[in-house]
Chain A
């Protein structure tokens, strides 16, 4: 491909290789360059290790937070299904009225799985045994508890929104004082989790930007330290692209190794936290394992960190390789 001399490649076809062979050779060349860049990193292990350490730590923090939020969601997702509606009837409601309501509600079979009436005296008994207040309740001259109707909605009405609609509908019934969804506290938790999620996002974005900057700056220093080599390569006809690739591969490796380190650190942190979580779960007679750090998570972390590495090196390479000219 000569711009100045028409026949230059024409009469030297034998020295050129075919198109297909060129593609194969290009692939091999890239592989070779990628490995050469890795070897280059290995030649200054301390500097490389420090850079990768910074990258690894930067990626570890958002990854860990992300997994924790994810796990919280998993836990609460299990709770959400346990939604129940308690209807508190007006005080002074007679047993007759309460039973009528039970029948009326039980007939709404399209929305309700089960309805149970808890009369005040049973509720009081239960309260006595559970609270341990026992005898002191005997001083009450009158049972203060109302009739309560415990309703288990059908599966479709377990999600917060439909459950709330169902609750409204039930509250319309006569003699009902008010109803309570037992997922209200869960919604508060959701709100907190969603704030936590926002924070995770902000932290993640900030740290990703810092990863890009760190890699960009490292590559910039690499380029400047090879100023003369780059000038010589340009002198003998290297295109900017040709010069770029080794640096892009360096960025790739930084991203890859940083991501790998982050994954290992996250695994370690989760293992560390796990015993604490087991303890806590034990107190609630539950069993819970922190999950999420599987091959897919590794893939995602690597994908993100490699992309960040490539973006950082691309920015640097784009700016600085153009500036170097032989003189």
Chain B
């Protein structure tokens, strides 16, 4: 699903954020990306969502090289990727409904379908009762969940999250991770950057570790860390998961 092929990224100004990064995440897989602050986690996610371009090397999604994507095609790529940010990136003067509806409005869905899907997405994150509120009237965790609802409302095949639990308490963090797990069970590839190692340890998914711009562990060949083992469920050779969680089907 996501393939990095010897990717280096040097920011304008000379800051080398990534060096020769190589990894591959299979379709339907759920994986974590971890590392110190400044290691390059956000940079990797930005390269996938075309918020930045690699200086050297290729990034491929579903076999398509992102270097071949023209500037005018970028919006269409982003529609296939659900993105969740630590700073929720919500429109503060629009209601929760309007925020979650945004990707659907952009894609030109009908009013009725938007209504239905936004309700379903908000129900999934447990915020249906706040649908007409402004984001300012929500807590940090609730804002984060609105961001998640927006990311999944058009059912993208790929979900990226950058520190999605950064300012949440452990219980809420766990709930959000379980939400991601649900999406993953529905067939969505999920890639989460976080330095919440405790959370990762409890989740038992593949974990990629990056240090100072280099991939020091891609979570596949490392036998010493049993917690980082990918569960069988996500064996790339398995047929795609077909069981959908009830809330993701409407």
Contacts and interface: CB of A to CB of B under 8 A. Distances in A.
A95 interface: no
B143 to A, nearest CB: 13
Contact of A237 (B78, B93, B157): B78
Given A325-B51, A326-B51, A237 B106 contact: yes
A70 B50 CA distance: 58
Contacts of B73: 3
B71 to A, nearest CB: 9
Interface string A214-253: 0000000000000001011111111110100000000000
Given A5-B62, A327-B51, A236 B69 contact: no
Interface stretch (A22-30, A72-80, A114-122, A301-309): A22-30
Interface string A1-39: 111110010001001010001100110010000000000
Contacts of A12: 155
B170 interface: no
B75 A238 contact: yes
B61 interface: yes
B106 A238 contact: yes
Count class of interface residues, chain B? 20 to 34
A236 B102 contact: yes
Contacts of A233: 102, 106
Interface string B195-211: 00000000000000000
A139 B236 CA distance: 128
B157 A236 contact: no
B117 to A, nearest CB: 8
B237 interface: no
B79 interface: yes
B220 interface: no
B113 interface: yes
A234 to B, nearest CB: 7
A238 B103 CA distance: 8
B83 interface: yes
Nearest to A26: B108
Given A5-B157, A233-B102, 11 more contacts: A3-B69, A4-B61, A17-B110, A229-B93, A232-B89, A232-B91, A235-B89, A236-B78, A237-B75, A242-B75, A327-B51
What are the 4 A-B residue pairs with the smallest beta carbon separation, nearest first? Answer: A237-B79, A237-B78, A239-B75, A236-B103
Interface of B: 46, 49, 51, 61-62, 64, 69, 72-73, 75-80, 83, 89-91, 93, 102-103, 106-110, 113, 150, 155, 157
14 contacts: A3-B77, A4-B62, A4-B64, A8-B80, A17-B109, A26-B108, A232-B91, A235-B83, A236-B78, A236-B79, A237-B103, A239-B75, A242-B106, A327-B46
